[in-house]
Structure 1
């Protein structure tokens, strides 16, 4: 026998190559139906793919969701930081706007007719006693700035009180809403060019209204009339708005009238005030106090 056929390894290799080529050609041939061994292999591989691919997709999706959640969390932190900064800026803006509006209104005080005889000191409210909320405030001007006891104090809305205590750098202002008679003010209502005089004496804290007393019994005062300082006592300027009449009644003896007056100034929100110093006497004079 020839030596070629004695080499069994070579024969097996050649036979395997022939079978492999035949299988490749057979698999590449278009057929209407594949053989059952191929079906078995395909189904087995497909089962393994289905079995392992679904959990793999789930795990991949789970980690993707975790990453998305982390991204959303980081974005929320940034947004919250921005919102907090915006809230702080908005708060600061509102405070500055309020102060600006208040100071702007203070400029209109010069429209008071008798104010040309007075020097104005703009002061900032630095304190308010909670037990005497409607009685006293403390401002940041004192003797060093020229403030003296008895000076009238106003805001852009109207009269609020007078200086009752003075130290070197601060002053205490007793408000007109003090229920005591310490802040008696000469006041008037102008009707048809004729002044109707009286006195602001007392405050009804339940109604938040001043009491305008000693009005002549025949005076024609009605609801809605404006009450201003009269300037008769040579202390307060004439024409400072005090408030608006809400009700008129006759006293118990029938000799005079009393009017309830809603204050023009907002005593619950006082930030800036003007302290007035009389420079020279005028024909109309100032206002009186006790």
Structure 2
């Protein structure tokens, strides 16, 4: 794949949040070039637009997990809202806002001072009680330079016997879920990128990965049937939800960090990903979540998605370069 590829050109003709990642992951552009493009996320396009909605106290929509004044009626009628602080931080991380820029540093500082979780009033960077939320808080905190080791230790202690996590553990669940596990794995990976992790966090990440790999990323361990047909439908932004592309992109990032070869058990998901490519070389957005957002960043379900296409192309590029040849 080169810059003359029309799909790559389509990705480059986009927002800085897409463009810098396509430059880095698909065209192998020099670091100086993609870093310069990444710096534009703060002042242009989606990144700047999302930052423009930030409250004076550093939060978004007046809350940590929920917008201020939000009631259960809206959730019932329109779905979970996505405008509060936690989802905005995760989106800025996905966009690639430079964590060393003054705006990012000031943001995480203000959130640490002013934001409290609705569940129990805990300071934001101390984490909540739910594994899915804490996994994303670890990912965001580690990315933006916050010490999240206490939350990491908590997550390590909340692992279930099958190696993964479930945010319903507190309600008695003893089996891990795909969604909870990927949220925690992404957090532990970001923590490892930031400070190298700890022996305990690396071991926890390994067991969580094994939970997904044993199930070929989407199958029930007992029956082999798909655990949820939604896992095979591509979503963006994922928020807390799981699909196999999210998992594949995680395993790619994990392997790049550690130097590991792709696990052959990813092969079925890779084949499915290839099968979903449209004739024009792009991948569609299959669905999106309901609920309040600041603005849309895709053209809608059924249409080509730059985000899905970017992730799919970099996963396949990594797999095709490193995957073991079949016997």
Q: What is the TM-score with the length of structure 1 in the denominator?
A: 0.26
Q: Structure 1 or 2: larger strand share?
A: 1
Greater C-alpha Rg: 1
Instruction: Name the structure, 1 or 2, with higher relative contact order (CA <8 Å, separation 6+).
Output: 1
Q: What is the TM-score with the length of structure 2 in the denominator?
A: 0.24
